[in-house]
Structure 1
Amino acid sequence: MLNDILSPIPDHIVQSASELHPGALGKRLHLHLEVEGIPDLENIRIALVGIQEDRGSKFNRGSAEGPDAIRPYLYQLFFGHWGFEAADLGNIYRGETLEDSVAAVRIVVEELRRSDVIPVLIGGSQDLTYAAYRAYDKLEQTVNLVSIDNRFDLGQHQETFNSGNYLSHIVLNKPYNLFNYSNLGYQTYFIPPEEIDLMERMHFETHRIGKLRADMSEVEPVVRDADLVSFDIGAIRQGDSPACNHVSPNGFSGEEACIISRYSGLSDKVSCFGIFEFNPSQDIHGMSAHLMAQMIWYFIEGVQQRRGDYPFASKKEYTKFTVLIDEGDLELIFYKSPLSERWWIEVPIQQAQHMRHALIPCNAKDYELALDGHIPDRWWKAQQKSV
């Protein structure tokens, strides 16, 4: 089925890669070529997939050309000390309609997950996050979505589906698979106050850009709990990445974008990672293309460093800490991995479909706050969603 959906990597990019160092990604990746076809996925851990679709873009037409502008920069980077194989499967054919492209993305992500391959999606406009999310429908599990974006993209659900309202389609369209949504990097002046209030009422997590930049380690437990990570490059400040029509002078630095990408790869739970809204027509000297390539490299590097923590390890293997709050009326149970020294907190969940969220990531700071009698915000929100 993938042969009908994916186009080979363009010849001129393949030819340029042939002149690279033997250790470069362009030489080490298993490539989808015109003659050889799609590489065998049996031993592939990560697969790059370009999405040449921007008809759902609200302000950033031109992002469909992004994948092939990133590849030359990505291919020049060196294959790390990675104990697995990776592939570049080319680009998803542009559908006759936007709906056709959405369906194609869903099928590709679904097929790759069925083969236990982690898709790295290179957009394209960010509304395609909805297509990746719908790929989890047949897995019969609820999904945690993390979006790195300076806006929430809730928009108006009754309007035509686009990159400015795709989140409302995720929240409101059946089947209802979303357990949690987290935003990293929103900028308050871009958000209607009623949307911030709505996020609070829905017990979703929102993290303002200034708060995160003061301590980037706060990103780690959020993405550790994600199944799907969607990165809008408009969240990166204009001076570091100009190639987006809705970019802002403020935002994450290029280095911080790579930190987030690495944290996403480190998460044992993340099974799909996407970078969207890169518009080559707005790039300057390849700055954004080069940064996107490095972000992808850092994601792959993070996957290499995964420790097999929860949900793949049993909590019986972890050190358990019990904290009593409100004179013993509330018991909070923390777990610490002796392997990675990462922390989790247990949430009392009864519904079978939510059991995989019974342990939510946190950090040592949350444990210390609990010792002082404070209930961690992430625990409270997760507990409210499970009621």
Structure 2
Amino acid sequence: MSDFNPPSVAILETANDDPRLGHWFRDNQDNVESADVVLLGFPSDEGVARNGGRTGASEAPSAIREQLYKMTPSTEYYQPFVELLDKTADVGDVEVTGSLEEDQQRLGNAVAGFLEQGVVPIILGGGHETAFGHFLGYAKADKNTAIFNLDAHTDVRPLKEGKAHSGSPFRQALEHESGCGETYLVSGIQPHSVAQSHLDFIREHGGNYIFRDETNITAISGQFHQHESERLMVTFDMDAVDQSQAPGVSAPCTNGLPADLWLTSAYLAGRNEQVSSFDLSEVNPEYDRDGQTAKLAALTIWHFLLGLSQR
């Protein structure tokens, strides 16, 4: 636990008959060894800066936790949800140094440890450079995986002057020397924001992409099963959501996905037994409006947990 900074989020004080998720996360901090699910933050946006985006995503883990901690367990599926919460712990944030490559290795080391124990890590980014650190966990644990990304962009850009950034994580994963990135699947991409060379790269590596107008729950569910890997690493980039519903992101998206499709996708990811890890990236509290985007991000985690509770 020495590589984590403990979460510094206030727990909403409520009556005994009105428990919130924060109560479970607080009570389970000392029982990480028995957890089946862990939350961890990656407060980095150096990759966004390198990619020419607007910074601020480093503040996202705290903002998401603030909203998530206030939420209640599902009343419709109360018992399985609570049983999952009993085995869910928030381990805090990975310590970041400002050196992106070193910080991604730190995240990878943490994720690898959880994967080796059969624990499902839920990572709160951070810029989308989070995803490559996330993938490094599979490489370090020597576990092959397919990768699913719900995003407005493909994020397979080449490195810039030899340096990684928030637009390069999946190129890095597919080209990684470990060979652990078996295939790449992406939904929600905007045709006006994607270069043909990026689509060619995905096809050349046996991947698949779906444009925003073709992205519906049937297509996403199909991609969840359109691979032969034993595992599926899932990453959600908040800039896929329409900016009217998610204004606080690093790259706001006109004509993005509706929030209900986004949330249902998170729920299906949680239910899918092949999904072994999840990250949510690119929330930018500095540009948020009334915490709207942080609330949607927290509700995304809530839906993923609901899906996990029904496995």
1:8 aligned partner, one-letter code: P
Per-residue CA distance 1:223-243 (angstroms, 9 max, x = gap): 245521111100111011001
Q: Which letter maps to 2:12?
A: A
* Residue 189 of structure 2 is aligned to residue 196 of structure 1: no
Once residues 245 and 177 of structure 1 are traced to their aligned partners in structure 2, the CA distance between those partners, rounded to angstroms, is: 29
The aligned residue for residue 181 of structure 2 is 178
Q: Which moved more, 1:224-233 or 1:239-248?
A: 224-233
For residues 294 and 68 of structure 1, what CA distance do their matches in structure 2 show?
14
Following the alignment from structure 2 to structure 1, what is the Cα–Cα distance between the partners of residues 20 and 56? 28
Query: How many Å separate the matches in 1 of 2:118 and 2:200?
Result: 38
Shift of the 219–5 alpha-carbon distance from structure 1 to 2, 3 Å rule, reads same
Match in the other structure for 2:62: 68
Contact 1:142 1:178 in 2 (8 A): yes
Q: 1:107 to 1:141 in 2, by over 3 A?
A: closer
Contact 1:147/1:232, CA 8 A, preserved across alignment:
yes
Query: 5+ unaligned residues in a row in structure 2: which ranges?
Result: none
- Structure 2 counterparts to residues 1-387 of structure 1, below 5 A: 3-10=1-8, 13-14=9-10, 16-19=11-14, 22-30=18-26, 38-57=29-48, 58=51, 59-80=53-74, 81=78, 82=81, 83-84=83-84, 85-157=87-159, 159=161, 160-213=163-216, 216-224=217-225, 227-306=232-311
- CA distance in 1: counterparts of 2:223 and 2:188, whole angstroms: 12
Task: Give the counterpart letter for 1:243 in structure 2.
Answer: G
SS at match of 1:137: helix
How far the C-alpha of 1:194 sits from its partner, in A, is: 2.3
Q: CA deviation at 1:96?
A: 4.8
Deviation of 1:191 after TM superposition, in Å, equals 0.8
Percentage of pairs with the same residue: 21
**Cα drift, residue 197 of structure 1:** 2.7
Counterparts of 1:142 and 1:242, CA distance in 2: 35
How far apart, CA to CA, are the structure 1 residues paired with 2:46 and 2:98? 11
- Alpha-carbon displacement from aligned partner over 1:14-33 (angstroms, at most 9, x marks no partner): 3x42347642101122457x
- TM value normalised by structure 1: 0.72
CA offset at residue 192 of structure 1?
Answer: 1.1
Whole-angstrom distance in 1 between the partners of 2:253 and 2:130: 22
CA shift for structure 1 position 148: 0.9
**Conserved? CA contact 2:32–2:91, under 8 Å:** no
Q: 2:176, 2:141 → 1: CA distance?
A: 17
1:96–1:163: structure 2 CA closer, same or farther, 3 Å change rule?
closer
Q: Is the contact made by 1:31 and 1:88 (CA closer than 8 Å) also made in structure 2?
A: no
Structure 1 Cα separation of the partners of residues 54 and 125 of structure 2: 12
What do residues 185-207 of structure 1 show as CA deviations (whole Å, max 9, x unaligned)? 11111111222233223321101
Please give the per-residue CA displacement for 1:134-161, whole angstroms capped at 9, x wherever unaligned: 1112443321001111111111235321
- In 2, the alpha carbon distance for the partners of 1:130 and 1:31 equals 31
Farther-moved stretch of structure 1 (89-98 vs 234-243): 89-98
Contact 2:159 2:165 in 1 (8 A): no
Mapped partners of 1:39, 1:114: distance in 2? 20
TM-score scaled by structure 2? Answer: 0.89
Deviation digits for residues 52-92 of structure 1 (CA, Å, limit 9, x no counterpart): 11111121311000011111211111123223321111111
Structure 1 residues 81-136: Cα deviation after superposition (integer angstroms, max 9, x where no partner): 22332111111112252222111101111111222211110010111211111111
- In structure 2, the CA distance between the partners of 1:191 and 1:125, relative to structure 1 (3 Å rule), is same
Structure 1 residues 49 and 31, CA gap change in structure 2 (3 angstroms):
farther
The residue identity in structure 2 corresponding to 1:178 is: G
Structure 1 residues 91 and 18, CA, compared in 2 at 3 Å: closer, same or farther? farther
With CA pairs under 8 Å and 6+ residues apart, which has the higher RCO, 1 or 2? 2
Q: Return closer, same or farther for 1:132/1:31 CA change in 2, 3 Å cut-off.
A: farther
